Amino acid sequence: MTAAISVTTIVDVDRQDAFEVFTRETDSWWRRGPRFRFLPDVPATLRFEGEAGGRLIEVDEAGSEFEVGRILVWKPGELLRFEFRALRFEPGQTTEVEVRFEPVPGGTRVSIDHRGWESLAEDHPARHGLTGPAFDDMISVWWGDLLVSLLRRAGLRSA
């Protein structure tokens, strides 16, 4: 089983701005719909509460919320690490996402590693019946779609 899924893009802003867009404008770029959201049937807002110990949460208009996970590391312009759980995860069951912001000529490399999938059984609902490379590809495409959305919706361009 895969230990981590990795995706990367390069954006044409400095790493501090890339971090701010990723964390402060999350609801504007994180795609909507049941494939991407945690409260997919109602209008809701997805946001980081900022700082280590905060949360990534989705909150609907009635105030109901889904905690995606706790923020483990918050280093503006450098590193964001947070727990990640989907709707069908059991209580206490999480994976971990690490987002690195690295300076490169002309902008910032944004790299996402999503690890911990090996802790979920092969028949876990989050796997949608996929295992091995097919599951890895599904998660890679999911994060890739989100990175494309980050570029488009946040007004960034690939460097």
Predicted confidence (pLDDT) at residue 102 exceeds the cutoff of 70: yes
34-51 average pLDDT score: 90
Q: Is residue 15 part of a domain?
A: yes
Distance CA 67, CA 153 (A): 23
Number of domains in the chain: 1
> For strand 65-75 and strand 55-60, is the pairing parallel, antiparallel, or unpaired?
antiparallel
The distance between the two most distant Cα atoms of the chain, rounded to a whole number of Å, is: 45
Q: Specify the pTM.
A: 0.91
pLDDT band, very low/low/confident/very high, at 154 (cuts 50, 70, 90): low
Predicted confidence (pLDDT) at residue 159 exceeds the cutoff of 60: no
Q: What percent of the chain has pLDDT over 70?
A: 93
89-116 average pLDDT score: 93
pLDDT band, very low/low/confident/very high, at 2 (cuts 50, 70, 90): low
Backbone angles phi, psi at 128, to 5 degrees: 50, 35
Q: Is residue 140 part of a domain?
A: yes
Helix (H) or strand (E) holding 73: strand 65-75
Distance CA 17, CA 23 (A): 10
Residue-level pLDDT at 158: 62
Predicted confidence (pLDDT) at residue 25 exceeds the cutoff of 90: yes
Q: What percent of the chain has pLDDT over 90?
A: 57
122-130 average pLDDT score: 74
For residue 32, the domain's CATH number is: 3.30.530.20
Q: Is residue 159 part of a domain?
A: no
Sign of the CA dihedral with 22 first, then 80, 8, and 86 last: negative
Q: Is residue 158 part of a domain?
A: no
Structural domain including 60 reads 4-153
pLDDT averaged over the chain?
A: 88
Q: Is residue 82 part of a domain?
A: yes
Q: Is residue 132 part of a domain?
A: yes
